[in-house]
Structure 1
């Protein structure tokens, strides 16, 4: 497998294999909305019910712009997670029309732009969210997702700076460490990438995708035994954790790497 193929696999991991907690749009509801069935339905991943309940709540909150904004953020989140991206953008944009300093709406809208591969728009929204947010843990998420948008836009050096910002807040942020490793991979800094992945596995020793990513890197470095060991470990973890698509992908890669090549002609 050549270097460009390895980078493609790295980007495939970023694009298709979601990290637990990755791109979790924020609602951060006020106490008024915290017990509402609209938000409850979002948390329970009943998105059609959430959209209906949030719409009713928005219509009833005509006298409270703040309360309506919370419900609209929740509905936008339900739209986003159910793949209705235009509606999600519309809800977050409406919140910003009434509350231009609400970093949550910028962040949530940025996530939708990432899903649409509109990385420039995503980065612009994340820039606004960074400027407005003050809570450290919220900033960690924003830096993580802005870095991911930059990485997916082939800006690995800029992405590294965002992941470094996230890690300065939380040195055990495994998502930032993983994506930092992917950025190092894009830049050809394979030793640094391996160090990042080793740190992820020290914190999450059963993380299937990190074993897979490390196996890909080891394969590119010519460490056949190490790469196969990582892929077998990744397959075991994926199967144990009920990730059939990831498990199938790893088995396919193992088969490809272990099948002798035949030369014709």
Structure 2
């Protein structure tokens, strides 16, 4: 079957504009099977609309074809229509109740809509039908993690890893739970599986990977990966790398360039748009804790390691802010492309209770806020929006340095405040990203950052209530 799909993919690549159903050989003994396999080939090539055409042809030939229905559901999921996908999977299960793949696929539709208990039930049914179904074990692990059942999640992910040792998704997910729980010695080595995950792009540098040893007489390239916040968090390791010997070159996005000029230990800083000098070795920033054998106990917590550029002028010189006011920076959204952004970002209208506080001026730290977002501040009598000046993180750092407090969701802004050792409150979902820990009133990476955690999944109102009360206390103590 895989061989047939491969042949179809080759044919589709050679004739990209052709209706895929016309490639189905006439007189086939099982035309419905051929159409179904052609649909799978189209799906794997990203031709989702064509895949739906093929699955529909298979269903026209055989209306009770449960496999084609399930595959149709997968294509609909990929097209962003979980409701239609769910209907397809449920139809497949009506026809074939003992179809483990359809149960697992149905679970992913619930997972996509944060209905994790229902997703868990689907994955458990799939595993009961097929105990060797590695992907169902993996998805069960994710559903358990999303509900905060970390021990059970680890067990499921390890079961998936044992059944399919070549799949990178399970060890990577396991690493993130271990890091969340503070088990760094076990978590960081597994985190290296991220380079094998589909959609995670390799570093693209030809130099050999640094092994963490002495590199005296050589030049080592450190390059950023993933988001701005990750780069800000992991640039702290540069001085520890520098102690290993030779010349340290750091490559970063242009928006971080001026900010990173304040980082000690960098011999040569270049942007991703610039020309790199000759380098002997390379390493991604997020591999440094593994190579340096860092744990929660040995983690470098000395802050600030990033500072305001002294050349940046005072942001508030032109603002008339009463001297007794607390200047509070706000950021409510992270990167919208982040897979968990819907759980970690907050609708700014939820902050409206804060506008009733006397003696506070709120300053926007949100890059490119939408018109809808800005409308949330219509009732805030003391609100300042820096606008496009936030395109450069050095400017953001200069503004943060002049604030009394930063309040932000899990985003680059909170990482920057923490790296500057500036007072900050991070607003976290019930199941936070690994770097903030599963519980507690402190942040292991940033001593100046205080977490405010959801008591229940999705309950941002309780978080804002706590922020409101603590702002009153802070104002009284100002």
Give the TM-score normalised by structure 2: 0.40
Residue by residue over 1:153-199, the C-alpha shift from the partner in whole angstroms, topping out at 9 and shown as x without a partner, is: 22211111111111112222211111100000111111111111222
Q: In the alignment, what sits opposite 1:23?
A: none
| Residue matched to 2:132 | 172
User: CA 1:178–1:262 in structure 2 vs 1: closer, same or farther (change >3 Å)?
Assistant: same
Shift of 1:150: 2.0
Does residue 41 of the first structure (1) align with residue 7 of the second (2)? yes
- Mapped to 1, the partners of 2:33 and 2:165 lie a distance apart of 37
Seen in structure 2, the aligned counterparts of structure 1 residues 81 and 259 have a Cα distance that, compared at 3 Å, is farther
Conserved in 1, the CA contact under 8 Å of 2:89 and 2:102?
A: yes
The alignment's C-alpha RMSD in Å is 3.5
Greater length-normalized contact order (CA 8 Å, ≥ 6 residues apart) = 1
TM-fit CA distance, 1:216: 0.6
For 1:131 and 1:41, the matched residues in 2 are separated by 32
Unpaired stretches in structure 1, ≥5 consecutive residues: 1-26, 29-36
Partner-residue secondary structure (3-state), 1:160: helix
Match of 2:452 in 1: none
Higher strand share: 2
Deviations 1:193-218 (A, max 9, x none): 11112223344455533222111101
Partner of 1:222: 182
Q: Conserved in 2, the CA contact under 8 Å of 1:54 and 1:71?
A: no
**Cα distance 1:68–1:174, how it changes in 2: closer, same or farther (>3 A)?**
closer
Report the TM-score when normalising by structure 1: 0.67
The CA distance in 1 between the partners of 2:165 and 2:41, in whole Å, is 32
| Residues 114 and 149, structure 1, Cα contact 8 Å, conserved in 2 | yes
Secondary structure of the residue aligned to 2:419 is: coil
Please tell me whether residue 81 in structure 1 is matched to residue 51 in structure 2: no
The answer on 1:55 being equivalent to 2:30 is no
Going from structure 1 to structure 2, the CA distance change for 1:75 and 1:204 (only over 3 Å counts) comes to: closer
What's 1:71 paired with? 34
- Report the equivalent of 2:267: none
2:419 pairs with 1:262: yes
**1:130 equivalent among 78, 84, 93:** 93
Distance 1:76 1:206 in 2: 25
Matched, 1:121 2:79: no
Distance of 1:228 and 1:92 partners within structure 2: 42
Measure the CA separation in 1 of the matches of 2:189 and 2:73: 38
Structure with greater helix percent? 1
User: 1:38 offset after TM fit, Å?
Assistant: 6.9
Q: Is the 8 A contact 2:72 2:88 kept in 1?
A: yes
The answer to whether the 8 Å contact 1:160/1:183 transfers is yes
1:198 paired with 2:158, answer yes
Give the structure 2 partner of residue 7 of structure 1. none
Counterpart among 155, 158, 162 of residue 118 in structure 2: 158
CA distance in 2, matches of 1:75, 1:179: 26
* In structure 2, distance between residues paired with 1:157 and 1:82: 32
Q: Which residue of 1 aligns with 2:311?
A: none
Question: Is residue 95 from structure 1 mapped to residue 62 from structure 2 by the alignment?
Answer: no
Q: Gaps (5+ residues) in structure 2?
A: 204-224, 227-283, 302-417, 423-478
Task: Describe the SS at the equivalent of 2:114.
Answer: coil
Q: CA deviation at 1:244?
A: 9.6
Q: Tell me: CA distance 1:173–1:228, structure 2 relative to 1, closer, same or farther (3 Å).
A: same
- Shift of residue 55, structure 1, vs aligned partner: 1.1
Q: CA deviation at 1:247?
A: 5.6
Counterpart position of 1:110: 73
